[in-house]
């Protein structure tokens, strides 16, 4: 506030008025000729008047060449006027003309500088720079008019000692002592102290700087400084900063208070001189301020959420931060820090303890967390947008506040304890295939059923190959029991019996069964058909194939395994989709529930024929994308599922997994960091990554609860009405 230009100008005007009155009194009461304008008044009218106006109003800080020319010309005119009363051929006249010569030289030099100096840029000619510096010094009001005043004292007042002493005293008061300015400055400071930001005491000197943004304070006294206490870090060798107390850290000099430094808010910056000046070393001083003054400092406003500071080894994809407050921290929680102008969010995926040796046997132990970059939240788009670059060292890290999460129609789940949802592009989830992987009893089937319902809402036909019969129960609203039973009986009838044939490939009932499957799928895939869900249990059918050549008009028959029946259905689905033509949008999804039994890896097959059957199913998935055919694969045994299909799954839901094979496979998709947290994932939690996800990076989410999802989703997407049964 002491630097306020208005106050400075006001003080100079007041001092000008006071000193002018003083001159008037001295000239009137002390000088013998009083106010009469003659040689005895030159000191007052020309000398001190010009000195006051020049030093207080025109050139309070420095004198440019133009003003130096003006000052020297005024002084020249005054001294020449005094020469009229000096005796000719006397030393007095010599002194007058010497001063006149000085004024003339300063005036002419100022004019030359104004004419020859460069108008823009840096002046490099030495003589011009020397002349400029000389006229600025000699042409200043304090110098040029002091010379004039001293000359007037000697020439016109030396015989009157009282006048000489009075004039010298006034000169000393105005030029050297400046008492009016001192009194005004003190009054201004005193007025500022009302409502000032008062100090609560010195915390201690600054022991170390950990640039950028951290200082360590060697605290004076034994009282503990609470986390979040606002401080002023006062350093006369640099800008003063606002500090926020974090925690105590062990160093070779004992426990030091770690303080996070941020810029001073404007409200405090304007008043910072109200704090006491520091002496010597930089100091940390506690202060009290109003909430409005600290309203723009997130480090103080969100101190309860400040959980750490960014440390070394942070990369473009991950942030590492030293934990200063560990309450509520957990895997999957979101933290936030600044990257440039954006608030970027990261998801905690790992934590570990560290111990640093600070001196000899002294150590400092702390926790360090690792978080994966998610991006910044775009509320309009409802998803995270990537943020480039990385946060600066020692940047504060904030834990996002936990909030109650309500299921939304668009979100497949939410980041734990936040309202940030993750949505799926269901068409991409089908055409580029999706896998749900995890152990038994953690919610895989409920997730798969939710995905099926979302597909149906998107107009995608779904065939569930379900050995558990769970889908038919949980999705009963989408099925017509009478119609489905008739379809099942038709398939059972097509698979019964089977006669031998000279051509072994044609023996048995599998061709008739395939024909019936194709017939049913052709009707089901018809765009005009308003049925969207079909559930088939491959283990319910006894379909035969000829296992040997003919002998006495007879041959051995073998019953097809669920894997082989799955291959028939997959082949038929591809055939019918090819008949419908190519498309970029999802048309049909094959759901492989218990996929390790339906499309097993070659070393996990039950029967030798399952190898060829799995290959046929894989071929259908590989070729199906161009025709809108894809799959949803659900398994608890990643190692036992054919990698030919699994490797085609572009979107992955990774739930709790213990086996090394599963973790090694998933680490190729979601990275070793997220794969490392899979064994400790809670139920209904999953790491999701892939083309269908609204997040470009792997993220850990809390999946929707079934009841909440049904209530929310079906309000916007009611179960489609089933076609009326044909008239009898």
- Average model confidence (pLDDT) for the chain? 83
CB 448 within 8 A of CB 465: no
Q: Is the pLDDT of residue 478 over 70?
A: yes
What is the rounded distance in angstroms from the CA atom of residue 572 to the CA atom of residue 538? 14
SS3 assignment, position 92: helix
Q: Rounded mean pLDDT of 437-458?
A: 92
- Residue span(s) of the chain under CATH 1.20.120 come to 5-187
Numbers of helices and strands, H then E, in the chain: 22, 25
User: In sequence order, what are the beta bridge partners of 346?
Assistant: 335, 373
Is 543 a residue whose pLDDT tops 70? yes
Mean pLDDT of 260-282: 66
SS3 of 456-522: HHCCCEEEEECCCCHHHHHCHHHCCHHHHHHHHHHHHHHHCCCECCCCHHHCECHHHHHHHHHHHHH
Sign for the CA dihedral angle at 599, 601, 607, 609 comes to: positive
User: Which candidate, 591, 605, 618, places its Cα nearest to that of 448?
Assistant: 591
Q: What is the pLDDT of residues 579-603, one digit of tens each?
A: 999 999 999 999 999 999 999 998 8
Give the CA distances from residue 684 to residues 72, 595, 627, in Å, rounded to whole numbers and listed in that order: 89, 20, 33
Provide the token pair at 108: 């002419």
What is the β-pairing status of strands 434-437 and 651-654? Answer: parallel
Q: Taking a C-beta distance cutoff of 8 angstroms, is the pair 502, 555 a contact?
A: no
Q: Could you give the CA distance from residue 10 to residue 3 in angstroms, rounded to a whole number? A: 12
Its sign, for the CA torsion 169, 175, 177, 183, is positive
**Numbered ranges of CATH 2.40.30 in the chain:** 302-402
pLDDT digits 0-9 by tens, 154-211 = 777 777 888 778 878 877 887 777 788 788 888 877 776 665 545 456 788 888 888 7
In this prediction, residue 197 carries a pLDDT of 47
Answer yes or no: is pLDDT of 671 > 80: yes
Instruction: Give yes or no for a contact between 350 and 673, defined as CB atoms under 8 angstroms apart.
Output: yes
- The size of the chain, in residues, is 728
The per-residue pLDDT for 358 is 57
Q: Band the pLDDT of 270: cuts 50, 70, 90.
A: low
Confidence of residue 1 (pLDDT cuts 50, 70, 90): very low
Contact of 145 with 175, CB cutoff 8 Å: no
How many other CB atoms are found less than 10 A from the CB of residue 486? 12
Residue 351 CA to residue 323 CA, distance in Å, equals 9
- The pLDDT assigned to 280 comes to 57
pLDDT band at 271 (very low <50, low <70, confident <90, very high): low
Tell me if residue 315 falls in helix, strand or coil. coil
Tokens of 578: 């090819």
Query: Which CATH number is 426-716's, of 3.10.20.880, 3.40.50.300, 3.30.70.3280, 3.90.1150.10?
Result: 3.40.50.300
Q: Could you tell me where the DSSP H helices lie in 249-335? A: 266-269, 298-301
Q: What number is the average pLDDT over the span 619-636?
A: 95
Residue 376, classified by CB atoms within 10 Å of its CB into exposed (0-12), middle (13-18) or buried (19+), is middle
Of 501 and 659, the one with more pLDDT: 659
Domain with CATH 3.40.50.300 in the chain: 426-716
Pick the CATH number of 302-402 from 1.20.950, 1.10.10, 3.40.50, 2.40.30: 2.40.30
- Give the class (CATH, top level) of 5-187: mainly alpha
pLDDT tens for 16-63 read 777 777 777 777 777 777 777 766 767 666 656 666 666 666 666 667
Give the pLDDT score at 57: 63
Largest CA distance in the chain: 162
Given a cut of 70, whether residue 446 has pLDDT beyond it is yes
User: Which structure tokens are listed for 347?
Assistant: 């998801």
pLDDT value, residue 279:
55
pLDDT of residue 344: 94
Residue 361, pLDDT > 60, answer: no
- Residue of 287, 289, 293, 354 whose CA lies nearest to 320: 354
Show Cβ contacts of residue 669 under 8 Å, excluding neighbours closer than 6 positions.
652, 654, 689, 690, 698
Q: How far apart are the first and last CA of the chain?
A: 95
DSSP for residue 71: H
pLDDT tens figures, 301-354:
788 888 999 999 999 999 999 998 888 888 889 999 999 989 999 999 988 887
Cα–Cα separations (whole angstroms), residue 40 to 36, 102, 105, 150, 156: 8, 22, 26, 13, 6
């Amino acid at each position: 506030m002491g630097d306020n230009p208005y106050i400075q100008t006001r003080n100079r005007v007041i001092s000008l008025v006071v000193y002018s009155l003083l001159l008037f009194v001295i000239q009137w009461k002390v000088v013998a000729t009083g106010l009469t304008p003659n040689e005895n008044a030159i000191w007052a009218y020309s000398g001190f008047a010009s000195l006051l106006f020049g030093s207080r109003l025109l050139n309070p800080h420095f004198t440019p060449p133009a003003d130096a020319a003006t000052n020297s010309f005024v002084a020249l005119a005054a001294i020449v006027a005094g020469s009229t009363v000096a005796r000719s051929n006397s030393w007095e006249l010599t002194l007058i003309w010497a001063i006149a010569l000085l004024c003339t030289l300063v005036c002419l030099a100022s004019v030359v500088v104004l004419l020859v100096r460069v108008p823009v840029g840096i002046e490099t000619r030495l003589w011009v720079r020397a002349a400029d510096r000389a006229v600025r010094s000699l042409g200043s009001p304090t110098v040029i008019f002091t010379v004039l005043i001293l000359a007037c004292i000697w020439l016109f007042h030396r015989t009157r000692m009282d006048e000489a002493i009075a004039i010298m005293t006034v000169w000393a008061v105005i030029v050297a002592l400046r008492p009016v300015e001192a009194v005004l400055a003190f009054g201004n400071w005193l007025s500022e102290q009302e409502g000032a930001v008062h100090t609560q005491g010195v915390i201690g000197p600054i022991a170390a700087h950990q640039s950028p943004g951290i200082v360590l304070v060697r605290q004076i006294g034994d009282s503990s400084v609470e986390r979040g206490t606002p401080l002023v870090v006062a350093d006369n060798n640099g800008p003063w900063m606002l500090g926020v107390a974090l925690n105590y850290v062990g160093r070779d000099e004992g426990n030091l208070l770690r303080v996070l430094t941020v810029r001073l808010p404007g409200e405090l910056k304007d008043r910072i001189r109200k704090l006491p000046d520091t002496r010597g070393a930089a100091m940390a001083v506690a202060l009290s301020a109003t909430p409005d003054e600290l309203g723009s400092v997130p480090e103080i406003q969100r101190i309860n959420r400040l959980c750490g500071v960014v440390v070394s080894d942070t990369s473009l994809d991950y942030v590492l931060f030293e934990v200063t407050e560990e309450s509520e921290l957990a895997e999957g929680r979101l933290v936030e820090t600044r990257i440039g102008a954006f608030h970027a969010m990261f998801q905690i995926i790992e934590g570990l303890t560290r111990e640093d040796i600070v001196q000899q046997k002294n150590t400092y132990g702390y926790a360090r967390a690792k978080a994966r970059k998610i991006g910044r939240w775009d509320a309009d788009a409802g998803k995270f947008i990537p943020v480039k670059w990385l946060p600066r060292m020692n940047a504060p890290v904030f834990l996002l506040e936990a909030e109650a999460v309500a299921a939304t129609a668009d979100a497949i789940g939410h980041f734990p304890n936040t309202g940030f949802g993750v949505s799926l592009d269901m068409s991409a989830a089908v055409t580029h295939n999706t896998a749900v992987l995890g152990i038994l009893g953690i919610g895989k089937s409920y997730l798969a059923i939710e995905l099926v319902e979302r597909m149906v809402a998107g107009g995608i036909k779904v065939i569930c190959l379900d050995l558990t019969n769970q889908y038919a129960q949980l999705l009963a609203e989408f099925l017509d029991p009478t119609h489905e039973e008739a379809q099942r009986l038709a398939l059972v009838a097509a698979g019964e019996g089977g006669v031998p044939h000279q051509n072994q490939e044609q023996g048995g009932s599998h061709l008739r069964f395939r024909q019936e499957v194709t017939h049913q799928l052709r009707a089901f895939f018809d765009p005009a058909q308003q049925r969207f869900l079909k559930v088939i249990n491959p283990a319910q059918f006894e379909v035969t194939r000829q296992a040997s050549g003919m002998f006495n008009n007879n041959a051995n028959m073998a019953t097809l395994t669920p894997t082989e029946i799955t291959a028939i259905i997959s082949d038929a689905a591809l055939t019918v989709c090819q008949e419908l033509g190519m498309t970029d949008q999802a048309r049909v999804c094959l759901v492989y529930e218990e996929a390790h039994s339906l499309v097993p890896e070659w070393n996990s097959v039950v029967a030798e024929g399952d190898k060829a059957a799995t290959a046929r199913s894989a071929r259908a998935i590989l070729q199906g994308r161009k025709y809108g055919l894809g799959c949803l694969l659900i398994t608890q045994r990643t190692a036992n599922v054919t990698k030919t299909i699994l490797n085609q799954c572009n979107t992955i839901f990774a739930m709790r997994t213990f086996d090394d094979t599963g973790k090694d496979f998933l680490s190729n998709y979601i990275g070793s960091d997220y794969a490392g947290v899979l064994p400790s994932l809670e139920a209904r939690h999953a790491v999701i990554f892939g083309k269908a996800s609204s997040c470009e990076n792997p993220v850990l989410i809390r999946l929707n609860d079934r009841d909440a999802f049904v209530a929310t989703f079906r309000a916007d997407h009611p179960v489609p009405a089933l076609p009326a049964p044909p008239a009898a």
